[in-house]
Copies of this chain bind each other. A is one copy, B any other.
Amino acid sequence: MNRYWSKQLDRLDPYTPGEQPQDQQYIKLNTNENPYPPSLAVSNVIRDFEIAQLRRYPDPESAELIAALASYHNLDNPQVFVGNGSDEVLAHAFQAFFRQDDPILFPDISYSFYPVYCKLYEIDYRLPALGEDFCINLLDYASTNGGIIIPNPNAPTGIALSIGAIRELLADNPESVVIIDEAYVDYGAETACQLIAEFPNLLVVQTFSKSRSLAGLRLGCAFAQEPLIEALQRVKNSFNSYPINSLTSAIALASIADEDYFQQCRRQVIESREALSTDLRQLGFEVFPSSSNFVFTRHPERNAEMLYRELKAAGILVRYFKKKRIDNCLRITIGTETECEALVNALQSIL
């Protein structure tokens, strides 16, 4: 603690992102990036971008991008919010909705940024435990709370809730904002966007980082009825008027327009996930049912941290969490077919 720091700073517990080695070529299956490049339409947009335009501030409202997202999801423009990655969108949402008298709820095994936001904004939280099968028990969320956030599919387990379960969660908690964090939704879960008209307490958060192959671009979005979006706008306009840069908007518009390519990449990742899951099971791994672009897995006889280290030595990065209950699991991002084969071969050698 430095004498110049705000008092609260000492209590922060900053997030640790997955390794992003800048100096070595790994087969990188550790941060849930898409193995396929962005749409060719993105290349064209960048090539044709009028550089002189960069001297201007971007549209602070990102109106064109918001209109495209609204149209894509059959929503109205005032039901859409965009931010500098879904991490920024989530940060604003925690500040906008979760500073309540009662603690908020999220699963004990979930996206590890949530408790970090809670410390940043001084929000109390409780952590209902997932079952032994890593499934969410809805009854745990039926108590008084200041809000709920659940990734669907959950991370790092990859397990999805049905849209019926989410509807039940929303109906059971009419006084709380319920955030459904859909970073991985395009790989096998159903989006809760279809429930927005029905539930004023629902906020859906999505990202361009995974299924749109644009993690390097930093673009996230949120969908909800207008009063919740207005809250996010109030925070955003008290923080940074222009979070989305001009190139980002242009690239995102091109990505949204190329639906065929989006569907093709999505399907390919799902196919590879199923093939990899089969291969891992044949190697003796337990593989949890994944609706995302990664698998969560453990070996009954092998220590996960050791496997992580041996894979790294073999040039393959996967994600290992040194955290109670999951410290014997690995989260493995779905790569190209070649990358998945290399992983299976490396594991075969190690085992």
Q: How far is the CA of A46 from the CA of B48 in the complex (A)?
A: 10
Q: A12-B234, A22-B59, A215-B54 are in contact. Are A201 and B240 (CB under 8 A)?
A: no
Q: How far is the CA of A5 from the CA of B58 in the complex (A)?
A: 28
A156 contacts the other chain (CB 8 A): no
A205 → chain B, closest Cβ, in Å?
Answer: 13
A246 contacts the other chain (CB 8 A): yes
Closest-by-CB residue of B relative to A88 is B240
State which of A112-120, A128-136, A184-192, A280-288 sits at the interface with chain B: A112-120
A204 → chain B, closest Cβ, in Å?
Answer: 14
Asked whether, in the complex, the Cβ of A84 is within 8 Å of the Cβ of B243, the reply is yes
Closest-by-CB residue of B relative to A247 is B247
Other-chain contact of A87, B116, B242, B244 (Cβ < 8 Å): B242
Asked whether, in the complex, the Cβ of B239 is within 8 Å of the Cβ of A87, the reply is yes
The 0/1 profile, CB within 8 Å of B marked 1, for residues 163-187 of chain A is 0000000000001110000000000
Q: How far is the CA of A2 from the CA of B33 in the complex (A)?
A: 37
Chain B residues with CB under 8 A of A87: 239-242
A15 contacts the other chain (CB 8 A): yes
Q: A51-B43, A243-B84, A247-B216 are in contact. Are A227 and B38 (CB under 8 A)?
A: no
A272 contacts the other chain (CB 8 A): no
A157 contacts the other chain (CB 8 A): no
Q: Chain copies in the assembly?
A: 2
Closest-by-CB residue of B relative to A215 is B57
Q: A12-B235, A200-B4 are in contact. Are A54 and B36 (CB under 8 A)?
A: no
**Would you list which residues of chain A between 211 and 263 have a CB under 8 Å from chain B?**
213-218, 227-228, 230-231, 233-248, 251
State which of A74-82, A90-98, A305-313, A339-347 sits at the interface with chain B: A90-98
Closest-by-CB residue of B relative to A228 is B4
Q: A54-B37, A57-B33, A218-B245 are in contact. Are A98 and B227 (CB under 8 A)?
A: no
Q: How far is the CA of A49 from the CA of B54 in the complex (A)?
A: 16
A42 contacts the other chain (CB 8 A): yes
A338 contacts the other chain (CB 8 A): no
Chain B residues with CB under 8 A of A99: 6-8
A142 contacts the other chain (CB 8 A): no
Asked whether, in the complex, the Cβ of B15 is within 8 Å of the Cβ of A237, the reply is yes
Asked whether, in the complex, the Cβ of B42 is within 8 Å of the Cβ of A54, the reply is yes
Best-buried of A51, A58, A117 by chain B (most CB within 10 Å): A51
A52 contacts the other chain (CB 8 A): yes
Asked whether, in the complex, the Cβ of A242 is within 8 Å of the Cβ of B15, the reply is no
Chain B residues with CB under 8 A of A17: 57, 60, 241-242
Closest-by-CB residue of B relative to A255 is B54
A64 → chain B, closest Cβ, in Å?
Answer: 8
Asked whether, in the complex, the Cβ of B231 is within 8 Å of the Cβ of A5, the reply is yes
Asked whether, in the complex, the Cβ of B9 is within 8 Å of the Cβ of A235, the reply is yes
Q: Which 8 A-B pairs have the closest CB atoms?
A: A14-B237, A6-B99, A216-B246, A37-B52, A54-B216, A55-B213, A2-B227, A120-B238
Which A residues lie at the B interface, using CB under 8 A?
2-9, 12-17, 20, 22, 28, 31, 33-38, 42-43, 46-47, 49, 51-60, 63-64, 84-85, 87-88, 91, 95-100, 113, 116-117, 119-120, 175-177, 200-201, 209, 213-218, 227-228, 230-231, 233-248, 251
